[in-house]
Structure 1
Amino acid sequence: MSARLLPRPALGGRAALRVLHVAAEVYPLVKTGGLADVVAALPPALAAAGADVRLLLPGLPSIIEAVQGLRAVLDIGPCCGALRVRVLAGRLPGAGLPVYVIEAPQLWQRGGSPYQASDGSEWPDNLQRFSLLGLIGARLASGEVDPDWVPDVVHAHDWHAALACAHMAEHVPTRAASVYTVHNLAFQGLFPLPDAWQTGLGSRCFSPAGLEFHGQFSFMKAGLKFADKVTTVSPTYAREIAGHEHGCGLDGVIRGRGGDVVGILNGLDEAVWSPARDAALDARYDLGRMAGKTACRQALQRTAGLAVDDRALVLTVVSRLTAQKGLDLVLSALPALVAAGVQFVVQGTGDPALEAAFRMAQQAHPGRVAVHIGYDEARAHQLIAGADVIAVPSRFEPCGLTQMYGLRYGTPPVVRRCGGLADTVDDGVTGFVFDAATPAAFEQAVRRAAALRADAPRWAAMQAAGMDRPLSWEGPARAYLALYVEAIEARAQRPRRVLV
């Protein structure tokens, strides 16, 4: 193979920075967690700040059906195990942002989630599916897909999009810089190393110095090693993943990147999460008219089948039911807290054992515990608005958006001090923070909440402090724009050796 050096990047006199976001999901078209909320909210915030922003998404059924004005941009042909791949262009409904969609029916047109079949098993061709997502992201950066719009920065989100960074670094000619965001280091995209040739990367990427990880091939490592800048979704989590406890075996790679790894706290989409405008609520409210919050509380007790008890502390959990989220702590502390007058309203799905345990708790405590297994977006809004406190007792939490929703809705969070929870909740000021991942520590924090709620003036002050906290995407968007400029400058100073 021959090698050549790419020229230094330049904006060509354009005022607007062109940014391409590459992701596997976006709210409300596809959502399995907070990633979809970020991808829905950050690009519009960047556009409002003056950037020229577009998205690249896989052609999942709900995306193909919803994106408006789809037209073919490039017919690629066979690629990554699909007989025919096309890149389509259109606009997202609502926000109206330009979006590219990868049409590959063999890979994307199926039921289930973006990552799993309906029985919970991983799709056996996930390596090909997400190799294609990363490859098309890199080819957009080269100008091959759409010569009329070539990004200055490719922002890849989580392991699903990470190979875009590797392709841009190794063999796709581009002047664009790359930024990679780790939304959750625990989910790394690991595949059998012998299958790595299907990614389209060169064999030198498959060594331990490349993307090999304990005998497997790691998508996550591709973003961590090859992106010009790496971000996580909170400053505390950025520090945590550089250590052994939370580094998931990649802490050495992260430490090796030094100052290239930064934490930028996620924001909250105020177009979706605002108690003053939320159509899902029984009554709307804000700091100047908190009677609506009381009405939401009463409605929640009625609809959830709880005893209508003004003195009870109503605690909600809206979460994936997993050990990471600390829901076993809630279950262990629940009997004592119910005996102390606390009511629980839970919505979530996940670990079958945890689902069964919460169902049993509901049966054991009728009128005090209400459980909904599954996820309903409108119900989530109603639970957060109607509860007194919201519990997020995670063992680790990269950022967390649920506690931010609680703050905005005047529902103080009860959180463990980790990741973005530590960065967003001030103990005794906007919520209740505990340290040890034990049922006793969680129980004590909830008891503190119940005691403070009995002091109406202090409780109102805590609600006001949380509702007043700046949580929009405006600040994070400015931080990302500054980081994009740094990534472009870093890319210019370290021209890549591109194999062709």
Structure 2
Amino acid sequence: MKILLVSPEVAPYAKTGGLADVAGSLPQALRRLGHDVRVMLPCFQSIQRGGFALRKSRKSVEIPVAGQERKGLLRQTTLEGVTVYFIENQEFFDREGLYGTPAGDYADNAERFGFFCRAVLAFLRRLDFRPDVIHLNDWQTGLIPVLLRTELRNDPFYASMGTLLTIHNLGYQGLFPATVLESLDLPPSLFTMEALEYYGQISFLKGGIVYADKINTVSPTYRDEILTPAMGIGFDGILRARQQDVSGILNGLDSKQWDPSIDTALPTNYSAANLQGKKSNKRALQKSLGLDTQAKGPLVAMVTRLDTQKGLDIVEGAWQDMLQRDLQFVLLGSGEKVHTDRFARLQKDAPGRSYIHLGFDDGLARRIYAGSDLFLMPSLYEPCGLGQLIALRYGSLPLVRRTGGLADTVHDPADDPQRANGFVFDEPTPAALLAALDRALALYGDRRSWLRLVKRGMAQDFSWTRSAQDYLQLYHRAQETRHG
């Protein structure tokens, strides 16, 4: 099968979140299954200056934006045998941030990604690569199905291409003033409720949802949640209109990148068969962070973006009560100032028992996964979640709120003893978190039962192979829609 994956970010080239990990790992898994997979993304400044060996192509395209012809150039490289194309335009993509600066989004994001969507389709013709399916990701790619099903619908080169749109986070909807239709050379007829119009604006994401052949999101539970008014962020009605075409596929985990038996960032490697190394990592982490190495209780950790979505208000509200328990607490993260300021103050409450690192450090993150006993993710919503998958792989039991991908991957002994691998609570309150924490602390005292859960979690298969096979089924269904 010929597959083109289009994404605004792809690891290791450009990354702001989990979307990049998906766009970097899934194509490799599909290639291992024998398919011709290629990837396209913008050639951001970070890529141009990142030391990647990119080959320049002689191919170029001219795209009309705001009354001017804007030139797109092509660069390429390979990632584990997968061809990766980078669409270059200095004016649009030679900037410090992918989507904006700390002060906010770039004012011309509609033009930037409108250019990108048109350039993707134009370069396919120049490359003479006709994919069976185009796999689109988030609002930045949402105009591609619109273009395919409107102005290009009678073009034989494009007519048979199926489309799948993956929604990684419904909170990002690509909303812009209606005037951008003209600057992107799109007809006024698209400014309707049946097309791109959304409360007087246009939405790139809505365009993708309306015109893509199939739609999915990154966990089965999140798929169900976004069809409801409570979690649909205003898009639930739009999604329910296409409910039969909306699926949920759980993200995978790169099992080579995340493996405690070979992770070079760890002081001691270990596996489910030999957990002595995990004890060594805990002691090394405690020592390096100034925590008491003789403490008997569990080490509770968070590695997270400091965003209200991540349930930080719940943790902050439970803080004083948490410190009454026999535990140590470590947090690594950066993000919203309200939370960085608050955690900076809270750390002073428990010298020697807590450590808070406001920033990001990949090596420290890995040592925290390896050295912690409990991994806290009390998210208000979580489309899939990566932290709990890594924690399970590293033998740290997740303590999560029952939402999205957390509900699909973490099972509480009280709910499902046979699949238990962590702890789950429902209400987004400090009291509910503390109740789950107390159940975890009680089990921690029963080493045999605790280690049974640890080993079960470490043995679970969250590899991309299974997810890639599920995506292939969706690709075939998108193709059948085109040929139907």
Q: TM-score, normalised by structure 1?
A: 0.91
| Letter aligned with residue 453 of structure 1 | Y
Residue of structure 2 equivalent to 1:18: 2
Residue of structure 1 equivalent to 2:432: 441
Residue of structure 2 equivalent to 1:12: none
Residue of structure 1 equivalent to 2:409: 424
Instruction: Give, in whole Å, the separation in 2 of the partners of 1:266 and 1:134.
Output: 24
Asked if the contact 1:138/1:165 (under 8 Å) is kept, the reply is no
Higher RCO (C-alpha under 8 Å, 6+ residues apart)? 1
Counterpart selection for 2:104 from 116, 121, 131: 121
Q: Percent of pairs identical after alignment?
A: 39
User: Deviation digits for residues 83-121 of structure 1, max 9, x if unmatched?
Assistant: 64333242245x24201111101111111x31121x341
1:146 correspondence with 2:132: no
User: Deviation digits for residues 411-460 of structure 1, max 9, x if unmatched?
Assistant: 01001111111100111210000000101111111121122111110110
What is the correspondence of 1:310-389 to structure 2 with a 5 Å cutoff?
310-389=295-374
Residue of structure 1 equivalent to 2:74: 88
Counterpart selection for 1:132 from 115, 119, 123: 115
User: Deviation digits for residues 146-173 of structure 1, max 9, x if unmatched?
Assistant: 11x2211110111111111211111133
| Letter aligned with residue 159 of structure 1 | W
Residue of structure 2 equivalent to 1:169: 149
Residue of structure 2 equivalent to 1:456: 447
Change (3 A) 1:170 1:217: same
User: Deviation digits for residues 463-484 of structure 1, max 9, x if unmatched?
Assistant: 0110111110111100111111
Asked if the contact 1:233/1:266 (under 8 Å) is kept, the reply is yes
| Letter aligned with residue 440 of structure 1 | A
Structure 1 stretch displaced more, 337-346 or 74-83: 74-83
Residue of structure 2 equivalent to 1:229: 214
| Letter aligned with residue 346 of structure 2 | A
Instruction: Give, in whole Å, the separation in 2 of the partners of 1:101 and 1:457.
Output: 52
What is the correspondence of 1:40-439 to structure 2 with a 5 Å cutoff?
40-64=24-48, 65-77=50-62, 79-80=64-65, 84-93=70-79, 95-111=80-96, 113-117=97-101, 119-140=102-123, 143-147=124-128, 149-172=129-152, 173=155, 174=158, 175-428=160-413, 429-439=420-430
Residue of structure 2 equivalent to 1:468: 459
Instruction: Give, in whole Å, the separation in 2 of the partners of 1:471 and 1:182.
Output: 20
Report deviation, 1:139: 2.9
Instruction: Give, in whole Å, the separation in 2 of the partners of 1:380 and 1:450.
Output: 23
- The secondary structure found in structure 1 opposite 2:267 is coil
User: Deviation digits for residues 189-231 of structure 1, max 9, x if unmatched?
Assistant: 1111222322332221122221111111111111111110001
Q: CA RMSD in A?
A: 1.5
User: Deviation digits for residues 63-91 of structure 1, max 9, x if unmatched?
Assistant: 23444342225222354368643332422
Asked if the contact 1:358/1:371 (under 8 Å) is kept, the reply is yes
Instruction: Give, in whole Å, the separation in 1 of the partners of 2:262 and 2:396.
Output: 16
Asked if the contact 2:63/2:119 (under 8 Å) is kept, the reply is no
Instruction: Give, in whole Å, the separation in 2 of the partners of 1:42 and 1:310.
Output: 41
Structure 1 stretch displaced more, 294-303 or 177-186: 294-303
Residue of structure 2 equivalent to 1:6: none
Change (3 A) 1:66 1:480: farther
Q: TM-score, normalised by structure 2?
A: 0.94
Instruction: Give, in whole Å, the separation in 2 of the partners of 1:267 and 1:193.
Output: 37
- The secondary structure found in structure 2 opposite 1:414 is strand
Instruction: Give, in whole Å, the separation in 1 of the partners of 2:73 and 2:314.
Output: 46
Structure 1 stretch displaced more, 190-199 or 54-63: 190-199
